[in-house]
Amino acid sequence: MDVQNRSNSNGPLVATAARQLSDRLREQLHLSDCTISGDAPQVTLRSAMVGKCKFMFLSCEGSLHMKARAGATDLVMWLSLEGTARFHFQHEVVMCAPSSGCIWPADIDVSLVATGRHRGLVIRIDRASLELELSRLLGRPIREPVEFLPMLNVDTPRNIVGPLLSFIRQSLDQKDSSIAESPILSMATERLFLHALLTAQTSNYSDALNGLNVVVVPRHLRAVMRAIKAAPESPWHLSDMAAEAGVSIRAICESFRRFCACTPKQYLQRVRLARVREALTAEAKPGSIAVIAAQCGFQHPGRFAATYHKVYGETPSETIRQAGGP
């Protein structure tokens, strides 16, 4: 693997380094556009092919903001190895800590906010290879594209994606990597990775793959998630969520931690923020920001504004302006 980009400034990410990193990510992820900003004095990007999938290792010291515009139809997986990152796409927010991340189709827009020291593993997943492996597992052609649950957590029982990715990382870090140098081993490793991902990450094919010990989000948790998305403005308490699921408060907290890598309160906040952002960008002339926030469940305007800026890296007013509002 080669070092693809490094910023050597001691202040904000300089224009030349930011442009080089943007160009590299756009090329590697097959995006139509990608913009980078932040105050990271040093950013490093290394990459290698594993079969038809592109593995990239990104490391930065300081904050990094990325906005990417839809391009190809492949999938992108971003796993945090150190530090935290927040993603927004299709009006959803995914918070990433070490051993967690998100996965999304490359043909949708996405933004990233990473602060402090951050290291991430970014993988462009070849959709054709993924769906070929899915067909092999099912023993039949698939009828619709794969859609994964966006929240990714590899630190769960029976999930072999995490250990497998650690093995691939260690191999690619070697000077003469056998995976990188051998086409046969590279393709075999890619197939093993895709197999692990399909059988560990919840998707629209999880029920069909259930006989392969797929880790499926339990029914009671799906019921709570649907209820929250249907009425995020409601004053949800843990007791309400537990009653909706028909389980104990302890069980609902553990389910969110295991399958969503967050607390019930954090999930509720994500949904509410996503609903606000959807309202701010869906209309040419949205109403009062404070009114919209209140309608989505935020009762403290100042606290809402600070949380919104922390998650999206911009104020609600900036979101309106970028969406073409007044």
User: Measured in whole angstroms, how far is the alpha carbon of residue 153 from the centre of its chain?
Assistant: 10
Taking alpha carbons only, the member of 69, 7, 83 closest to residue 38 is 7
What CATH number does residue 230 fall under? 1.10.10.60
What is the per-residue pLDDT across 146-171, written as a single tens digit (0 to 9) for each?
988 888 888 776 778 888 999 898 88
| 295 in the same domain as 249 | yes
Which domain range does residue 252 map to?
220-322
Bridge partners of 57, per DSSP, are 46, 121
Instruction: Write the pLDDT tens digit of every residue in 7-17.
Output: 444 456 667 77
Q: Please tell me whether residues 264 and 298 are part of one structural domain.
A: yes
> Is the Cβ–Cβ distance between 85 and 78 less than 8 Å?
yes
Is residue 169 located within the same domain as residue 226?
Answer: no
In tens, the pLDDT along 213-232 reads: 445 678 888 889 989 988 99
pLDDT band at 211 (very low <50, low <70, confident <90, very high): low
pLDDT at position 121 is 92
Domain count within the chain: 2
Question: Is there a single domain that holds both residue 179 and residue 232?
Answer: no
Q: Are residues 77 and 105 in the same domain?
A: yes
Q: CATH number, domain at 105?
A: 2.60.120.10
Last residue of a domain, one of 160, 195, 212: 212
Residue 6, pLDDT > 60, answer no
Strands (E), the chain: 2-6, 33-38, 42-50, 53-61, 64-69, 75-89, 92-96, 100-105, 110-125, 151-153
Q: What is the pLDDT of residues 88-139, one digit of tens each?
A: 876 677 878 888 888 888 888 888 888 778 889 999 999 999 999 999 988 8
- Predicted model pTM: 0.69
Span 269-287, mean pLDDT? 79
What pLDDT digit, counting tens, does each position of 233-245 carry? 999 999 999 999 9
Residues 133 and 244 in one domain: no
Q: Same structural domain for residues 190 and 256?
A: no
Same-domain pairing of 49 and 161: yes
The pLDDT of residue 197? 92
The closest alpha carbon to 216, from 165, 174, 158, 269, belongs to 158
- In this predicted structure, the answer to whether residue 274 has a pLDDT above a threshold of 80 is yes
User: pLDDT confidence of 193, banded at 50, 70, 90?
Assistant: very high
Instruction: State whether 69 and 172 are in the same domain.
Output: yes
Domain edge (last residue) among 171, 188, 212: 212
| Same-domain status, 192 and 285 | no
Do residues 87 and 136 share a domain? yes
Residues 268 and 315 in one domain: yes
Q: Mark which of 168, 193, 212 sits at the end of a domain.
A: 212
